[in-house]
Amino acid sequence: MIITEVLEKNAKLYPHEVSLVEINPAVRPDPTITWREYSLIETAPGEKYRREMTWKEFDIKANRFANLLLTRGIKKGDKVAILLMNCLEWLPIYFGILKTGALAVPMNYRYTSEEIKYCLELSDSITLIFGPEFTGRVESVRDQLHDINHYFYVGEETPSFADSYDCLVTYCSSTSPAVDLTEEDDAAIYFSSGTTGFPKAILHSHKALMSSCRTELHHHGQKHDDVFLCIPPLYHTGAKMHWFGSLLSGSRAVLLRGVKPEWVLQTVSEEKATIVWLLVPWVQDILDAIDCGEVKPEEYRLSQWRLMHIGAQPVPPSLIKRWLKVFPHHQYDTNYGLSESIGPGCVHLGVKNTNKVGAIGKAGYLWETKIVDKKGNPVQGDAVGELTVKGPGVMKCYYKNPKATEEILKGEWLYTGDMAKMDEDGFIYLVDRKKDVIITGGENLYPVQIEDYLRAHSAIKDVAVIGIPDQRLGEIAAAIIELKERDVCSEQEIMDFCIELPRYKRPRKIIFDKVPRNPTGKIEKTKLREKYCGGRLVEVQTTK
């Protein structure tokens, strides 16, 4: 089965049931007014607090966009790029592209003009659909985008160089186009997170998309009456592939355009959300807001919320233990994956294994795992090695980059670049990124282990450990620490806190600063290295 057929099936089975809801809390000035009242109020040009779409409307909108693309000459194998914030139009546009046989090319909404140009050219995209947030960035490089034949704009006040998506799709056929597709056909190009430089283009097939649907449903058991709250950006494989569980079960999903703790709990309450996928910083923010009394869980309807799961980065065990104290009735799961393995799911903890919090889990449904040494041989016991995975969601290749493909794909095995170890029960623990390992005086330091230890400090909100040059030891560990808003802490207090760590694991440098994270929650260590490893360290405050 092709993933577009799942949408068509839902449109027939549940034509009048809501498939997607968009919540824009930033345009709700009075939180005492219910969403039912706000849903009828135009709060800004083209904006409402709440919008929704049925499964039938979803499929019709996808068909209309597909037919619009076909009238513009788009054919099977072409590439169509999406540059949108999360919105109700996002997924129908994505499925419309797939229905033409073209490849969907989702793009990071944080890309600069140069990155937009780079990714459009790398992917061979010939059409771009974008929103108002990106008009300036697109316009600044438009004269250099010689291969882009069509621009479609989603929003009010369409720029002169683009066509209005809303106006044009209205007049297009709502019938699904007759395009022959198989599971082996190319479906999408995603981009790596780019934390180590310009992103690479990752090519996936329709088979990979369907495999992620099945894996997600198997892991989290979405039922038709579940409601999934999706906050992370849809351009990323993580958010979309978790939503695929809703697609396969025909259940409702809510797109929340904001991450404030009160917005999350308000939406869970009003939309009766049962499943929420959060990133580590958002979990931290919610717990901090509860601790200081800014948010009171008892004021919201949360009893139906059954599952909170996390992915995209290593999860501190102390954070989850803290969460389960506040929400003891929640199931919890950790999901691990890469864009190269079609998002989360190739490894997962499982809701029954909270006693193993700290592990990323075991091989996911339809996946295999192996931890190997530098020669590709399986490591023995609990030795540290590189995590490799094999399964139906492994990418076809890095598009137009055979050298990089050869470095990460060895036969059917995908080399993740993550260092890991396995315990006696077969659960896998991430140790660190291969490129992030710090070698100090001949000893290997794994920053994640130090970060997990430091996060147990009550004043620390976030932390990143990087290696900085040292004449004697080669590198030393520096901890960049972001304190909670109302807390004060000194460098010496942190050093004293680390006294229980083995001496070689203790950070030699403490820097109080913001910890930068990308939209999917991963720490941007490249930025920290640029800031603190280029010659003399910038002067920083050791108290807040």
Q: H or E segment at 348?
A: strand 343-348
Question: Residue 377: is its pLDDT beyond 60?
Answer: yes
Confidence grade of residue 332 (pLDDT, cut at 50, 70, 90): very high
Report pLDDT for 539. 35
What pLDDT does residue 540 have?
Answer: 38
Say how far apart CA 75 and CA 231 lie, in whole Å: 32
What is the reported pLDDT for 40?
55
- Distance separating alpha carbons of residues 317 and 219, to the nearest angstrom: 20
Q: Say what the pLDDT of residue 280 is.
A: 79
Name the residue with higher pLDDT: 501 or 106: 106
CATH code assigned to 52-249: 3.40.50.12780
Q: Please report the sign of the dihedral spanned by the C-alpha atoms of residue 51, residue 54, residue 55, residue 58.
A: negative
pLDDT score of 430: 83
Which of 50, 30, 26 is closest to 40 using CA atoms? Answer: 50
- Dihedral angle sign, alpha carbons of residues 266, 343, 531, 435: positive
According to CATH, where is 2.30.38.10 located in the chain?
A: 307-433
Residue 42 reports pLDDT greater than 80: no
Q: What is the mean pLDDT of residues 36-44?
A: 55
Higher-pLDDT residue of 63, 501: 63
Rounded CA Rg of the chain: 23
| pLDDT score, position 544 | 33
287 falls in which pLDDT band (50, 70, 90)? very high
Higher pLDDT, 461 or 11: 11
Looking at residues 258-281, what average pLDDT do you find? 93
Burial class (CB in 10 A: 0-12, 13-18, 19+), 149: middle
Give the residue among 125, 129, 32, 128 at the shortest CA–CA distance from 89. 129
pLDDT digits (tens, 9 = 90+) for 409-455: 999 999 998 889 999 999 999 886 667 778 675 566 778 778 888 98
pLDDT band at 528 (very low <50, low <70, confident <90, very high): confident
Whole-number Å distance between alpha carbons of 279 and 313: 8
**Tokens representing residue 173 in the block:** 């056929």
For the segment 115-139, the average pLDDT, to the nearest whole number, is 96
Q: Give the mean pLDDT of 140-151.
A: 96
**Number of helical H runs and strand E runs in the chain:** 16, 29
Query: How far is Cα of residue 243 from the mean position of the Cα atoms in its chain?
Result: 11
Q: Look at 2-6, 179-183, 259-263, 521-525 and tell me which has the smallest mean pLDDT.
A: 521-525
Fold type of domain 437-532: GMP Synthetase; Chain A, domain 3 (3.30.300)
Q: Average pLDDT for residues 107-123, to the nearest whole number? A: 92
| CA–CA distance, 338 with 298 (Å, rounded to integer) | 36
Model pLDDT for residues 294-314, shown as the tens digit of each residue: 999 999 999 999 999 987 566
Comparing 64 with 279, the larger pLDDT belongs to 64
**Is a pLDDT exceeding 90 seen at residue 175?**
yes
Strands, E assignment, 170-306: 186-191, 201-205, 227-230, 252-256, 275-278
3-state helix, strand, coil in the chain (%, to 5): 35, 25, 40
User: What is the reported pLDDT for 535?
Assistant: 35
510 backbone dihedrals φ, ψ, rounded to 5°: -115, 125
Lowest-pLDDT range of 21-35, 123-137, 211-225, 450-464: 21-35
How far apart CA 331 and CA 329 sit, in angstroms, is 7
Label residue 539 exposed, middle or buried (CB < 10 Å: 0-12, 13-18, 19+): exposed
Which residue spans of the chain are classified as CATH 3.30.300.30? 437-532
CATH number of the domain located at residue range(s) 307-433 in this protein = 2.30.38.10
Can you tell me the distance from the alpha carbon of 519 to that of 535, in angstroms, rounded to the nearest whole number?
A: 29
Cβ(103)–Cβ(206) under 8 Å? no
In a 13 Å sphere around the CA of 250, the CA atoms on its Cβ side amount to 15
The phi and psi torsions of 411 (rounded to 5 degrees) equal: 65, -125
Mean pLDDT value across residues 357-363 = 90
Q: Is the pLDDT of residue 279 over 50?
A: yes
Q: Poorest-confidence range of 145-154, 247-256, 526-535?
A: 526-535
> What's the mean pLDDT when you consider all of the chain?
89
Q: What is the pLDDT of residue 536?
A: 36
